[in-house]
Amino acid sequence: MVSPKIAPSMLSSDFANLAAEAKRMVDLGANWLHMDIMDGHFVPNLTIGAPVIESLRKHTDAYLDCHLMVTNPMDYVEQMGKAGASGFTFHIEVAQENWQELVRKIKSAGMRPGVALNPGTPVEQVYPLVEGATPVEMVLVMTVEPGFGGQKFMPNMMDKVQTLRQKYPTLDIEVDGGLGPSTIDAAAAAGANCIVAGSSVFGAPKPGDVISLLRESVEKASSPTT
């Protein structure tokens, strides 16, 4: 059985009060804090890097689930490890040639390795990374095009999630993009257990209620039917 992990996307938080926002999310029941690192090259947007992770780490013990939308993930491993990142998820699109070395370095730096795939990338491309001698420990299925928050959920990506869940029953499978009360049931039913949610949490009158709803949906979908 895989456990639900609800990860509010801090890209949607108030960056001027990041420590307070992190504490608020954890107090409201978040399991992880999802941190979007974008380099302005792999994706057009430019967000945060290791200095912000290092600053935030001084104020929280939370699991910092770092998603690196960058062209050269290898360049970030050492600095992210030193900064206090918990998870390091890179994109398969930029790591076809060196993923084995990359995964080893991530683990050596004390972080949990994950691999992400864009909507246009075939799910088969991540199989070797899950089945390798030094495997990734999570697969992130993007349910929007990466780079910007607030996009609409792409339901056809659930085929990828379902395929992964059938193939790897104990794998952490994360979904990111457009997740909220109206889309969580489809994601949970397909087999996703790690849920990234930005605007649906931070834009809600009661963010804690949304976090609870997301968790309950995953729990309901993953519990064995009697």
CB 53 within 8 A of CB 77: no
Beta strand 172-176 with 194-197 is: parallel
How many H-runs (helices) and E-runs (strands) does the chain carry?
9, 8
> Catalytic annotation on 36?
yes
Q: What is the rounded CA–CA span in Å between residue 77 and residue 32? A: 20
Q: What is the rounded CA–CA span in Å between residue 72 and residue 18? A: 26
Written as one letter, the residue type at 191 is G
Place of tokens 């690192």: 37
If residue 91 lies in a helix (H) or strand (E), which one and from where to where?
Answer: strand 87-91
3-state secondary structure of 26: helix
Q: Per the residue annotation, which of 65, 176, 185, 209 is the catalytic one?
A: 176
Place of tokens 């076809």: 96
**168: its two tokens:** 């790897």
Q: Per the residue annotation, which of 14, 27, 36, 159 is the catalytic one?
A: 36
CB 41 within 8 A of CB 49: no
- Any idea which residues carry the catalytic annotation? 36, 176
